Structure 1
């Protein structure tokens, strides 16, 4: 017998079945990650031997890969270069059905990052920027979202010359979300502290849907002066739930925009303007990965919004997808499931307490 949540999902899916096929358009950077496992990161002038090396396309590719897994069209509006790293990116795009609508550069290759993971689980990054970071204010002039589309903006696009293109786009999008026929989802990443004040102000004024992990949410709250108790503990246990609720509430009120604050297996806290904070419980899983499933969560959230789901239901499905992605990690990278698998987990293991 279907649970009450499954019945509601089934009805909503039937209602959405005849709607137009919307797309998720990402303005984020895409590069190649070269992941190397070492006992410890060597000191300057030192030497280390890698226990294993794996190359994987990173950045906003992981967002778009999750989108296609949910049966939604994925478009990449960032810059791709010409060279061996760009060839890897284009190959994976073709395999996953991701369409590149952005600019191509013939005078520079796409960038790459060395990711050194030590035995304590710490990661050290060394980045070489390429064509993806060589944009300007015209970079995203190609982006013309249709009604029902979702535009994804990642924090990795906010630190270099391409940020001027993001700024142009959000100014074109305006400050009234209700006047747009499309939605904007922004995940700031850990680079938020490096974003200049003018760009951050323009992003806030655009009032996108913000999707952050709890560390990013605290950084954003500090920059915006949101009234968050600095002594509130954000460790699992103790006052974790209360601290997350307070953080989401205070930051959401300051942003005057929808906000998602993710907390791994605990799920996410969600607030819409004028509403209460809602805890969307996660799905317990054994951590077998070396990389966060945040990209999978954000990509699935974008895809579900493009399919017409409410924000809370989109986050609930994203929680399930992220849990599955962690369980099936390959070379330390979580692998996002498809739509049917995510929905099946939600139907089978609704983590919320039953209510009469």
Structure 2
């Protein structure tokens, strides 16, 4: 017997045999990650040897890859340079059928990051910014979302010259979500503390759908001056669920916008304006990865919104996709499944669902 979501999925296949015409368009940066496993990060003047080194494409590429895997057309609107790193980026986009609609730079290469992962899986980042960070207020003039499209914005685009292009796009988007025929999903990342007040204000006023992990949500709450109950212990099995629900409620009320707060295998807490906080269960997953599955979750959520699912159901499918992505990680990077595989995981799971808290 199919679950409720499985029955709806089967119905959608009958009604829409082809992939949805709606798109996911990302305004985020894309770069190359050089991932190096080391025994420990050396001190100044020290030396370390990497026993495993891989180059993968990172940034918003992972969001777009997830959207594409989930059966939705994906477009990258950021800047790509010219050179060896840019060539790797362009090849990865082509391999996943992701169209680059943004600007090209012939005078500089795309950037890269060294990602040092030690024995305890703690990660240290060293970034070299390239063409992706050299935008201006015209960078996203090429973005003209159609009705039903989903525009993704990542926090990694909010700290450099390209942030001017984000601000210009938000001005065009306006402050009334009801007047937009498309949706905006904003994933602030852990760099939110570095975003200037003016841009943050414009982002909040636009009332996008916010998708954060616990740390990002707390950083955003701090920036907005939201008081939280420090006595609520954020420990699984303790007051974790109550604290997450309260964080989602208080932050959602202040933002006056849809909010998703992710917590790995514990799932996610979702709130829409005027509604209750809903806990969407996650899946117990063996940690075989060294990179977060947050980009997979965000990309899958964007894709499901483009397919017409509600935010709660989109998050439920994204939870399944993120869990499978972790299980199938390649060189420590979560690898997003297909739409059908994510739905199948939901159908095969027992005891999952949503709970109003």
TM-score higher than 0.5 here? yes
In which range does the TM-score fall when normalised by the shorter chain?
over 0.9
Pairing 1:314–2:282 present:
no
Tell me, in whole angstroms, the C-alpha distance in 1 between the residues paired with 2:71 and 2:4.
24
- The answer for the alignment partner of 2:63 in structure 1 is 63
- TM-superposed deviation, 1:284: 1.0
- The answer for the alignment partner of 1:163 in structure 2 is 163
Tell me, in whole angstroms, the C-alpha distance in 1 between the residues paired with 2:269 and 2:197.
26
Gaps of 5+ in 1: none
Is the 8 Å Cα contact of residues 283 and 351 (structure 1) preserved in structure 2? Answer: no
Tell me, in whole angstroms, the C-alpha distance in 2 between the residues paired with 1:209 and 1:157.
17
- TM-superposed deviation, 1:354: 9.9
Equivalent positions of 1:138-217 (< 5 A) are 138-217=138-217
- TM-superposed deviation, 1:57: 0.3
Question: What secondary structure sits across from 2:318 in the alignment?
Answer: helix
- TM-superposed deviation, 1:58: 0.2
Instruction: Extract structure 1 runs of 4+ deviating beyond 4 A.
Output: 15-20
How many residues are paired up? 355
Is the 8 Å Cα contact of residues 282 and 351 (structure 1) preserved in structure 2? Answer: no
- TM-superposed deviation, 1:352: 2.4
- The answer for the alignment partner of 2:104 in structure 1 is 104
Pairing 1:238–2:226 present:
no
Tell me, in whole angstroms, the C-alpha distance in 2 between the residues paired with 1:235 and 1:354.
21
Tell me, in whole angstroms, the C-alpha distance in 2 between the residues paired with 1:116 and 1:9.
41
- TM-superposed deviation, 1:347: 1.2
- The answer for the alignment partner of 1:277 in structure 2 is 277
The two structures have a TM-score, normalised by structure 2, of 0.97
Equivalent positions of 1:1-356 (< 5 A) are 1-15=1-15, 17=17, 21-352=21-352
Tell me, in whole angstroms, the C-alpha distance in 2 between the residues paired with 1:162 and 1:2.
46
Is the 8 Å Cα contact of residues 68 and 98 (structure 2) preserved in structure 1? Answer: yes
Question: What secondary structure sits across from 2:74 in the alignment?
Answer: strand
Gaps of 5+ in 2: none
Cα 1:354–1:297 change in 2 (3 A) is: closer
Question: What secondary structure sits across from 2:54 in the alignment?
Answer: strand
Cα deviations by residue, 1:215-249 (Å, 9 ceiling, x for unpaired): 00001011111232233222222000000000000
Tell me, in whole angstroms, the C-alpha distance in 2 between the residues paired with 1:338 and 1:20.
14
What RMSD over aligned residues (CA atoms) do the two structures have, in Å?
A: 1.5
